[in-house]
Amino acid sequence: MANIKSAKKRVLIAEANRQRNVAFKTSIKTAVKKALALATESDKEALAAAISNVYKLCDKAVSKGILHKNTAARKKSRLVLAIKKLEK
C-alpha cells in the first residue's frame, strides 16, 4: 500500500473503476448469452432487440474506454456468426 495520501486515494479510485468495468463487461456477456438463447426460438423481434442491446452495450463500452474498438467489433461479429449458425 502506498504511503502518500494522494496515492492511497488513487488506489481506491482504481479499485472502484475496476469493479465498474468488470460489472459492465459482465453485462455484455449476459446480453450475448440472452441473444444466443433467443436465436434458437422463433421470435425474430425479440432476437433483433437482443442483438441491438448487445451492439448498444459494446459501443457504450468503447466510448467509456472499457473495451477496445476492435474487441467490440469482434464480439459483435462473432455474435452474428453464431446466431446465423444456430438458425440453420
- Over residues 24-58, the pLDDT tens digits come to 999 999 999 999 999 988 889 999 999 999 999 99
d(CA 2, CA 12): 11
The model's pTM = 0.88
Please choose, from the candidates 25, 78, 28, the residue with its C-alpha nearest in 3D space to the C-alpha of residue 53. 28
Residue 88 pLDDT > 90: no
pLDDT digits (tens, 9 = 90+) for 47-56: 999 999 999 9
Predicted pLDDT at 43:
87
Contact 67, 54 (CB under 8 A): no
